Chains A and B, each alone.
Chain A
Amino acid sequence: DAGITQSPRYKITETGRQVTLMCHQTWSHSYMFWYRQDLGHGLRLIYYSAAADITDKGEVPDGYVVSRSKTENFPLTLESATRSQTSVYFCASTKDRTLYTFGSGTRLTVV
Chain B
Amino acid sequence: GQSLEQPSEVTAVEGAIVQINCTYQTSGFYGLSWYQQHDGGAPTFLSYNGLDGLEETGRFSSFLSRSDSYGYLLLQELQMKDSASYFCAVRDDSSNDYKLSFGAGTTVTVRA
Contact = CB atoms under 8 A, between A and B. Distances in A.
Bound pair (A, B): yes
Interface of A: 31, 33, 35, 40-45, 48, 50, 56, 58-59, 90, 92, 97-105
Contacts of B42: 90, 102-105
A97 B48 contact: no
Given A90-B43, A100-B100, A104-B41, 18 more contacts: A33-B99, A40-B104, A41-B104, A43-B43, A43-B102, A44-B102, A45-B99, A45-B100, A45-B101, A48-B99, A97-B30, A97-B98, A98-B31, A98-B48, A98-B91, A100-B45, A102-B44, A103-B42
Given A41-B104, A43-B87, A98-B33, A58 B43 contact: no
5 contacts: A33-B100, A43-B87, A56-B99, A99-B48, A100-B35
Interface of B: 1, 30-31, 33, 35, 41-45, 48, 50, 87, 91, 98-105
Main SS of chain B's interface residues? strand
A48 B98 contact: yes
A78 to B, nearest CB: 21
A43 B1 CA distance: 15
Nearest to A98: B48
Contacts of A43: 43, 87, 102
A108 to B, nearest CB: 14
A50 B95 CA distance: 14
A58 B99 contact: yes
A100 B42 CA distance: 11
